[in-house]
């Protein structure tokens, strides 16, 4: 585990609104200029996840005539995709017009016809979607039979160190605590959602990326720079300076190394799924086995 030294319809019912999509849009628009400025290096986590997606494309040995990028989080993903040499036409859809995408589109309500793309990729965008099952279903419908979906998203243990420190500080100083770090899906949720959306051969795996900060406040700057600050639908009371200072001190005491660097952990969930096709491997029908398990294991079979 390496470290970085320095961050089904698409209609969302009111009771499903965990995130304020208006705020998500504002955060991304504010972050966009910095994400495309190489001097700031705000896209370090996006670059890391984008390369993982590109590597998986190369591993397929397939060519993709028409691909969709869902969420333009800087230029890291498009650069990595083009470098694979496996994509003929790249179409970009994004939530904000500032990024000059081919389509301004919300991940929760995609404007594309069925079976439009051979490949759909999304890099650190889908964890801000309220109706993730619906979004995944729409993505699957966009794919041609045997089309590929690849995505990265933040997982539920992301920033667990900061989450715990803020909780303890607020309970200590205010006698109660509000949700300060956004809730994200865990690895079991992700795998089940792919299957629920109708993807064939669904796979979800996780990667833990620890980032080491010599100055803890730099984490908050990085989150703003990536457009990843909280955008919860339910507004929390303002975080006081006293609570913030206490939380940072708790975070440093519990998660600093010998060199005084404080650890913040990002969990990346990597999703892979294929649009169903008759040519794909199918499970054998029940009762079609020609070899007994007992024979394969070399043990006696016990009848019930």
Residue 221 lies in a domain: yes
> Residue 101: its pLDDT value, please?
96
Which regions in the chain score pLDDT beneath 70? 1-16, 282-304
In angstroms, the CA 126 to CA 136 distance is 9
In angstroms, the CA 46 to CA 58 distance is 19
Residue 151 lies in a domain: yes
The domain in which residue 183 lies consists of 4-279
Residue 300 lies in a domain: no
Cβ neighbourhood burial of 111 (10 Å; 0-12, 13-18, 19+): exposed
Half-sphere exposure of 189 (CA within 13 A, CB side): 15
Phi, psi of 267, rounded to the nearest 5 degrees: -100, 120
> Residue 54: its pLDDT value, please?
98
Q: Tally the domains of the chain.
A: 1
**Are residues 74 and 43 in contact, defined by beta-carbon separation less than 8 angstroms?**
yes
In angstroms, the CA 265 to CA 2 distance is 11
> Residue 289: its pLDDT value, please?
60
Residue 299 lies in a domain: no
The strand pairing partners of 109, in sequence order, are 106
> Residue 7: its pLDDT value, please?
32
> Residue 105: its pLDDT value, please?
96
- The CATH number assigned to the domain holding 16 equals 3.40.50.150
| Integer Rg of the chain from CA | 22
The strand pairing partners of 149, in sequence order, are 120, 273
Phi, psi of 151, rounded to the nearest 5 degrees: -150, 155
Containing 299, the helix (H) or strand (E) segment is none
Residue 49 lies in a domain: yes
CB pairs under 8 A, 24+ apart, for 93-98?
Answer: 93/68, 93/69, 94/28, 95/21, 95/24, 95/25, 95/28, 95/71, 95/125, 96/25, 96/28, 96/29, 96/32, 98/28, 98/29, 98/32
Residue 194 lies in a domain: yes
Helix (H, G, I), strand (E, B) or coil at 147: strand
Tell whether the torsion through CA atoms of 182, 228, 55 and 150 is positive or negative: positive
> Residue 119: its pLDDT value, please?
99
> Residue 234: its pLDDT value, please?
85
Residues in the chain: 304
Half-sphere exposure of 235 (CA within 13 A, CB side): 3
Place of tokens 């079979």: 301
Predicted TM-score of the model (pTM)? 0.86
Place of tokens 């990346």: 268
Helix (H, G, I), strand (E, B) or coil at 168: helix
Residue 161 lies in a domain: yes
> Residue 8: its pLDDT value, please?
43
Query: pLDDT tens digits for 252-276?
Result: 999 999 999 999 999 999 999 999 9
> Residue 41: its pLDDT value, please?
86
**Are residues 204 and 156 in contact, defined by beta-carbon separation less than 8 angstroms?**
no
- The Cα angle at residue 110 between residues 107 and 116, in degrees rounded to 5: 125
In angstroms, the CA 287 to CA 59 distance is 34
């Amino acid at each position: 585990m390496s470290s970085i030294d320095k961050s089904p319809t698409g209609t969302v019912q009111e009771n499903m609104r965990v995130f304020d999509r208006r705020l998500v849009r504002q955060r991304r628009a504010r972050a966009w200029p910095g994400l495309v400025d190489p001097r700031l290096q705000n896209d370090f986590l996006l670059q890391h996840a984008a390369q993982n997606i590109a590597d998986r494309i190369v591993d397929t040995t397939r060519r993709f005539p028409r691909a969709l990028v869902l969420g333009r989080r800087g230029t890291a993903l498009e650069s990595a995709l083009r470098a694979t040499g496996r994509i003929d036409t790249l179409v970009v859809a994004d939530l904000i017009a500032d990024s000059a995408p081919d389509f301004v589109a919300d991940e929760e309500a995609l404007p594309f016809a069925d079976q439009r793309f051979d490949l759909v990729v999304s890099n650190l965008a889908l964890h801000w979607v309220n109706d993730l099952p619906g979004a995944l279903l729409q993505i699957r419908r966009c794919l041609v039979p045997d089309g590929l979906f690849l995505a990265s998203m933040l997982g539920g243990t992301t920033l667990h160190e900061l989450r715990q420190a803020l909780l303890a500080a607020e309970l200590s100083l205010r006698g109660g605590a509000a949700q300060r770090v956004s809730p994200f899906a865990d690895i079991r949720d992700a795998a089940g959602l792919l299957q629920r959306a109708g993807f064939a051969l669904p796979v979800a795996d996780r990667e833990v990326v620890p980032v080491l900060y010599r100055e803890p406040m730099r984490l908050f700057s990085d989150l703003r720079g990536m457009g990843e600050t909280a955008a919860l639908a339910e507004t929390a009371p303002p975080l006081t300076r006293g609570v913030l200072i206490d939380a940072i001190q708790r975070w440093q005491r519990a998660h600093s190394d010998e060199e005084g660097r404080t650890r913040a952990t990002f969990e990346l969930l990597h999703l892979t799924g294929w649009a169903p096709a008759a040519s794909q491997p199918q499970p054998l029908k029940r009762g079609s086995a020609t070899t007994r398990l007992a024979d394969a294991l070399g043990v006696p079979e016990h009848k019930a």
